[in-house]
């Protein structure tokens, strides 16, 4: 069993205490996470602050080259990262699992490396010249979740580095090992202190968000934790990018073909076993095709193998941790008790690990917890409706506003209704298909700011206006 180390200032740093990291498929220990102390955190921030003095002045083309080099390192170590990710997170190597995630991390890194933020000329006439320059902020703190730990780490780290900042990242204590290894390989091509990793329990994350030496927080996780991050950042007026929870609505119009949309609906809901912020979490289906959609989804779900992530035949794996496993079970049990019709699944699988089957629950409505709350797991409520305007209004009553989708044979009609959904991203006849050139972020209680593309890169800069 390997003991992992903190990594800051370009070197591995051992700690006095460690915590076990377990495989959610088996319960076996796969490694030990170092438990950082407040003194370790201070040293990591100091290393990042020192590195910022030089990294912020490195020419743009050299920072681009460094990000390209990071991408090559990810590619060269992809299978190792995928294997480690599967061990600690549980997602299968195949399907939309660990190899898919490493491929996504690589794609985002390569795209971000090529972004530019040129000087904007706001005025240039006989009255004067006004230029808008974008400058790096300073030390950026990243706190990442357990669902897509490697890819989200790249979403946070690479644009920060590309813009000239330095980083201290704290991964979830449930999935820290792949992030530690990612930072180690990044440091093979970056100057010491540009990217640093601290691990430990949630108290270290709280210390990061209140630390005097951190200039910006970027956080992906639950809305409740995001509120705490925001509150603790107030004293130092840190800049914030918060990508928080979602309860995404998908609306199926009466002209949709159930057989044609079943696969897209399924993966919109169950990518990463439903453990995705922008997964489809509430499915509204018009009464005229309600039963055919239920039938098509159930038939598709029955064909998806669920098993240990290291089994090459598995397409979906376990829920990542006991807390989330118990929440999914509780929400499904509550839906059943309130009249929900279980189409498939509905009870834990009889095997070791946090295995809960793909579960479809029909005949539920608002007021049932599975509809009102974010389940973040392999359970989908299917809600019947008759009036499209009414269902749009009902979908918008939820305080979350991350993503949404509309499904129809008429793309123009779908777009018309999609634009009425209160969410940061909306899809037509698909759901959750994010891409590195399209800004992504939430409205309402799903976050502040955006990620990806030039708009996301701007989040890691401050503006300086030069007037002459």
d(CA 219, CA 230): 10
CA–CA distances in Å: residue 267 to residues 72, 272, 331, 444, 448: 29, 9, 21, 25, 26
d(CA 340, CA 29): 37
DSSP state of 253: -
Could you give the angle at the alpha carbon of 107 between the alpha carbons of 283 and 139, nearest 5°?
Answer: 95
Helix, strand, coil content of the chain in percent (nearest 5) = 40, 20, 40
277 catalytic residue (yes or no): yes
Identify any residues that bridge with 217 across adjacent strands, giving them in sequence order.
Answer: 141, 240
d(CA 18, CA 4): 9
Q: Which residues contact 444 (CB under 8 A, 6 or more apart)?
A: 399, 400, 401, 422
**Alpha-carbon torsion, ordered 80, 356, 446, 278, to 10 deg:** 60
224 catalytic residue (yes or no): no
Burial 270-298 (b: 16+ CB within 10 A, else e): bbbbbbbbbbbbbbbbbeebbeebbebbb
Q: Which residues contact 351 (CB under 8 A, 6 or more apart)?
A: none
| Residues 38, 43, 48, 49, CA torsion sign | positive
Contact 424, 405 (CB under 8 A): no
Decide: residue 422, CB within 10 A, 0-12 exposed, 13-18 middle, 19+ buried.
middle
Q: Pick the catalytic residue: 243, 374, 451, 459?
A: 243
Phi first, then psi, for residue 422 (nearest 5°) are -90, 85
Is residue 255 helix, strand or coil? coil
CA–CA distances in Å: residue 58 to residues 54, 71, 160, 190, 226: 7, 19, 14, 12, 32
CA–CA distances in Å: residue 388 to residues 264, 268, 418: 21, 21, 11
Contact 361, 343 (CB under 8 A): yes
Q: Pick the catalytic residue: 154, 277, 294, 423?
A: 277
Task: Write out the catalytic residue numbers.
Answer: 243, 277
């Amino acid at each position: 069993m390997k003991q992992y180390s903190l990594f800051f200032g370009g070197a591995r740093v051992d700690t006095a205490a460690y915590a076990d990291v377990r495989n959610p498929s088996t319960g076996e220990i796969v490694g030990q996470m170092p438990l950082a102390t407040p003194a370790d955190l201070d040293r990591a921030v100091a290393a990042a602050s020192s590195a910022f003095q030089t990294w912020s002045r490195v020419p743009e083309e050299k920072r681009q080259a460094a990000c390209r080099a990071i991408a090559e390192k990810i590619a060269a170590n992809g299978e190792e990262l995928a294997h480690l990710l599967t061990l600690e997170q549980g997602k299968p190597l195949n399907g939309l699992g660990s190899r898919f995630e490493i491929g996504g991390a690589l794609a985002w890194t390569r795209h971000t490396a090529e972004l530019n933020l040129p000087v904007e000329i706001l005025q240039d006439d006989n009255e004067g010249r006004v230029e808008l320059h974008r400058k790096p902020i300073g030390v950026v703190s990243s706190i990442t979740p357990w669902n897509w730990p490697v890819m989200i780490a790249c979403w946070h780290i690479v644009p920060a580095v590309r813009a000239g900042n330095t980083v201290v990242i704290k991964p979830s204590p449930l999935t820290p090992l792949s992030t530690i290894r990612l930072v180690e390989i990044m440091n093979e091509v970056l100057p010491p202190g540009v990217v640093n990793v601290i691990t430990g329990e949630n108290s270290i994350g709280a210390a990061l968000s209140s630390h005097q030496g951190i200039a910006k927080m970027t956080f992906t996780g639950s809305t409740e934790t995001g509120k705490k991050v925001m509150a603790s950042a107030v004293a130092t007026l840190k800049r914030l990018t918060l990508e928080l929870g979602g309860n995404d609505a998908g609306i199926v119009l009466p002209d949709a073909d159930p057989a044609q949309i079943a696969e897209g609906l399924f993966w919109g809901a169950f990518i990463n076993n439903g453990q995705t912020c922008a997964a489809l979490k509430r499915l509204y289906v018009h009464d005229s095709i309600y039963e055919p959609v239920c039938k098509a989804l159930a038939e598709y779900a029955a064909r998806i193998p669920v098993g240990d992530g290291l089994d090459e035949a598995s397409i979906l794996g376990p829920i990542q941790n006991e807390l989330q496993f118990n929440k999914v079970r509780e929400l499904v049990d509550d839906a059943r008790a309130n009249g929900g019709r279980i189409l498939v699944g509905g009870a834990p699988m009889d095997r070791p690990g946090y295995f809960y089957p793909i579960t479809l629950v029909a005949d539920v409505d608002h007021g049932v917890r599975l509809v009102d709350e974010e389940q973040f797991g392999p359970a989908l409520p299917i809600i019947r409706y008759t009036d499209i305007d009414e269902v749009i209004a009902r979908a918008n009553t939820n305080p979350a506003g991350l993503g949404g989708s509309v499904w129809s044979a008429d793309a123009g009609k779908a777009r018309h209704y999609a634009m009425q959904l209160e969410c940061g991203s909306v899809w037509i006849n698909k759901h959750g298909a994010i891409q590195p050139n399209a800004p992504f972020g939430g409205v309402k209680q799903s976050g502040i700011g955006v990620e990806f593309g030039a708009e996301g890169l701007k989040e890691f800069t401050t503006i300086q206006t030069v007037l002459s």
